[in-house]
Every structure is written in structure tokens, then in C-alpha cells.
């Protein structure tokens, strides 16, 4: 893939392309953003474009340099990652020694450092001199999800490019470029995380099973049927907090999207903007069993629950807040008093 073919972050692409056109590639760059997969993809394709034998200010994807970089076999493009929690001293020693040598084949040598925030202070300080006095043939690209954790002295010696998360449409296009069916790509893009590496790892069959399971739970809650079974299942899962929180967050996210689709059907009855368009008939059944005020309340309630997950609320409290949201009367606080439908219950309180 050439630099121009990369999806998303148009401003970053334009900046990198200008470096190539003007033959002024910085000796050190920092790529920062929430999607490390895309940062690495941009770094590799920028290196490929800079080193391409055809000199077209982009990668030709045909010359032996481009092909070797794609296969991870080019000696003048090195990717480094932490050995454990942090980069070890011997890793930095090898990097610094390599940076003192001329490229083996190309005109420049690229060093791409993943998770650069995991340089501890001693390692970062030893690396700093290499950045301060770089050989003209060296290019360092530091990738990080947390720019604040990189020493200011290192930041000041680098050009910093900030990556934005891909939109759902951009993720969909990325997946389609990998041969994923358009409808599957649309759903994967919506239900998956910002990190393209996570999206690529999603199992389609597993996602389908989760969607169907959440639709079944929502159906029971709206109809007030088998609610005790759902409650008992959640209590059972809560015995292991870490796995429960992961499950609960995913459940609330998926149900929120289903509720959003029900609201869309209530407003205009159109399926053109439905996310779960394959569930239209079932969602219309559920829409007929409730009203738009209740659906709006539930969407807001799911937002509150997602926030409370981050606040480390007790699992039992989360479960009760979730289940009681769907009762006809509204929601019930842990103390047993009702709050009116549409009102905000107490937030951020740890009930033990």
C-alpha cells in the first residue's frame, strides 16, 4: 500500500507527503493517537515512500525495497518494541550503536519505536543524545498513545503529528480494502474499538452471537419476561469482577445501539439509518411495546452506566441500576426508593 492509499488522517498524510516532495524528512518524529496500529501503518508506509527506488515521493509497491519492507525483511527499517513493561537498557544500547552506523542498503535508515512512552527516564535520557546529534541518514519515528508520558526534552526534538481516531466510515473502507464483505465491514466498524488491530481481530461469528444474545436480553427486559434469569446470570458473572466488567460494558454498549435503532424506527420508520438493519422486524415489535420517552430515558441511562463502570462502582449496584431501568415505574436506587422516570439517579457513589 502506498502512502496516498492509506485511509484516514488526511492532514497527517499531507504533512508526510510534503516532507517527501520538499526532500526535508525530519530526523525525528512522534506519532501520537489512540490507534497504535494506524500509527505503525503510517510509519512503515512513510519509510517505504522515502526509500522507494523509483523516487516518486511515494511507494511504488513493486521495487525490491518496497517489497522487502512489506515483508519485514529490509535491514534499514527497524521496528522496536518494549521487552516487558519498559524498554531495557540493552535494547537502547543496540539502538544507539545501530544509529551510529550508516545504512546497509538505502540512503536512509528508519528506526520505528512502538510504545515510546514506555521508555523509562534513564533509557530516555540515554536516547536523548542520539536525537540531539543525529546522523543525516537516520530517521526516528516514535509511536505513542500517551504523549504526556514522553519526556519534554524528547518531545522538543521531534516533529509531533497527532492522529485522529478513524470514523466508522473510514474503518469500514479499511476493512473492505482487506476483502471483508461490505455489510460485515459496516457492522464491525460500528461495534468495534478505535484500534484497527482490535477490529481486525474481531471474530464475525462471535459478534453475531453477541448481537443476538443482547437482542434477546433487551426483548425480555422490555416485555418484563424472564428478568430474574437475567438478574441471576449477571450476579453469577459478577463473582469475577474483571471479566464481569468487560462483559457488562460490552452488553450495555450493544444494547445502547439496539435502543438507538428502536428510536430511529419510532421517529421515521426508515431502515436506511439503522445500524442493526437485519433486525428491523424484531426492533419494530419492541418499538410497539414501549414509547419514545422511555427509550430516550433508557439510552441516557445506558450512558450513565457506562460512565459508572469507569468510576469503579460495585458490581451489584451496576446490576440493580441496569435491571431496574427497564421496570415500568422507572429506576430503583440501591436503597429501595424509586426515582421518577427520566430523572438521574445518584452517580459516582461506591456502595461497597
Distance CA 74, CA 67 (A): 9
Quick: pLDDT tens for 211-246: 999 999 999 999 998 888 998 899 898 888 888 888
140: cell is: 526516528
Percent with pLDDT over 90 in the chain: 49
Q: What is the pLDDT of residue 327?
A: 83
Evaluate whether 230 touches 220 at the Cβ level (below 8 Å).
yes
Quick: pLDDT tens for 34-86: 888 889 999 999 999 999 999 999 999 999 999 999 999 999 999 999 998 89
Nearest to 258 by CA among 289, 287, 294, 291: 287
Quick: pLDDT tens for 94-138: 999 999 999 999 999 999 999 999 998 888 888 898 999 889 999
Task: Give domain limits for the chain.
Answer: 10-165, 203-339
SS3 80: strand
Beta strand 109-113 pairing with 77-80: parallel
Q: What is the pLDDT of residue 131?
A: 92
Distance CA 245, CA 224 (A): 24
Q: What is the pLDDT of residue 192?
A: 64
Question: Residue 116's Cα: distance from chain center in Å?
Answer: 18
Q: CATH number of 203-339: 1.20.272, 3.30.1680, 3.90.1490, 1.20.120?
A: 1.20.272
How far is CA 121 from each of CA 24, 59, 98, 113, 298, rounded to the nearest angstrom?
30, 36, 21, 16, 47
Distance CA 200, CA 188 (A): 9
Mean pLDDT across 175-194: 77
Q: What is the pLDDT of residue 184?
A: 81
Mean pLDDT across 181-208: 73
Going by the DSSP 8-state scheme, the letter that residue 327 receives in this structure is B
Evaluate whether 116 touches 150 at the Cβ level (below 8 Å).
yes
| Cβ-Cβ contacts under 8 Å for 163 (sequence gap 6 or more) | 9, 12, 31, 32, 33, 34, 35, 38, 39, 42
* Strands (DSSP E) found in the chain: 28-32, 77-80, 109-113, 138-144, 159-162, 331-332, 338-339
How far is CA 188 from each of CA 202, 299, 319, rounded to the nearest angstrom?
8, 21, 27
Evaluate whether 324 touches 275 at the Cβ level (below 8 Å).
no
pLDDT band at 330 (very low <50, low <70, confident <90, very high): low
- Phi, psi for residue 221 in degrees, rounded to 5: -70, -40
How many CA atoms lie within 13 Å of 30's alpha carbon, on the beta-carbon side? 24
Quick: pLDDT tens for 279-313: 999 999 999 999 999 999 999 988 888 888 777 77
Q: What is the pLDDT of residue 317?
A: 87
pTM value surpassing 0.85 = no
Question: What average pLDDT does the structure give for the chain?
Answer: 86
Evaluate whether 220 touches 227 at the Cβ level (below 8 Å).
yes
Q: What is the pLDDT of residue 185?
A: 82
CATH number of 10-165: 3.40.50.300
Amino acid at each position: 500500500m502506498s502512502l496516498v492509499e492509506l485511509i484516514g488522517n488526511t492532514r497527517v498524510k499531507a504533512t508526510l507527503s510534503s516532507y517527501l516532495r520538499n526532500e526535508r524528512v525530519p530526523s525525528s518524529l512522534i506519532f501520537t493517537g489512540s490507534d497504535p496500529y494506524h500509527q505503525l501503518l503510517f510509519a512503515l508506509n512513510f519509510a517505504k515512500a522515502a526509500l522507494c527506488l523509483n523516487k516518486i515521493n511515494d511507494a511504488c509497491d513493486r521495487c525490491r525495497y518496497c517489497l522487502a519492507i512489506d515483508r519485514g525483511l529490509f535491514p534499514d527499517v527497524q521496528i522496536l518494541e518494549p521487552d516487558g513493561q519498559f524498554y531495557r537498557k540493552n535494547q537502547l544500547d543496540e539502538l544507539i550503536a545501530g544509529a551510529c552506523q550508516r545504512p546497509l542498503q538505502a540512503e536512509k535508515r528508519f528506526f520505528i519505536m512502538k510504545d515510546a512512552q514506555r521508555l523509562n527516564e534513564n533509557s530516555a535520557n540515554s536516547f536523548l543524545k542520539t536525537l540531539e546529534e543525529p546522523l543525516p541518514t537516520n530517521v526516528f519515528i516514535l509511536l505513542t498513545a500517551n504523549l504526556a508520558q514522553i519526556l519534554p526534552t524528547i518531545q522538543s526534538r521531534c516533529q509531533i503529528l497527532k492522529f485522529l481516531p478513524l470514523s466508522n466510515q473510514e474503518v469500514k473502507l479499511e476493512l473492505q480494502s482487506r476483502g471483508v464483505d461490505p455489510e460485515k465491514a459496516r457492522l464491525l466498524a460500528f461495534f468495534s474499538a478505535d484500534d484497527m488491530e482490535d477490529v481486525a481481530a474481531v471474530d464475525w461469528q462471535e459478534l453475531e452471537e453477541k448481537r443476538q444474545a443482547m437482542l434477546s436480553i433487551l426483548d425480555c427486559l422490555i416485555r418484563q419476561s424472564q428478568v430474574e434469569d437475567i438478574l441471576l446470570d449477571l450476579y453469577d458473572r459478577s463473582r469475577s469482577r474483571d471479566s464481569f466488567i468487560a462483559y457488562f460494558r460490552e452488553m450495555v454498549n450493544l444494547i445502547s445501539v439496539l435502543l438507538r435503532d428502536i428510536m430511529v424506527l419510532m421517529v421515521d420508520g426508515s431502515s436506511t439509518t439503522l445500524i442493526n438493519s437485519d433486525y428491523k422486524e424484531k426492533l419494530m415489535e419492541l418499538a410497539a411495546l414501549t414509547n419514545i420517552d422511555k427509550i430516550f430515558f433508557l439510552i441516557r441511562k445506558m450512558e450513565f452506566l457506562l460512565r459508572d463502570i469507569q468510576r469503579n462502582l460495585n458490581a451489584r449496584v451496576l446490576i440493580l441500576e441496569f435491571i431496574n431501568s427497564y421496570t415500568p415505574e422507572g429506576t430503583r436506587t440501591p436503597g429501595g426508593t424509586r426515582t421518577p422516570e427520566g430523572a438521574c439517579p445518584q452517580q459516582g457513589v461506591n456502595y461497597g
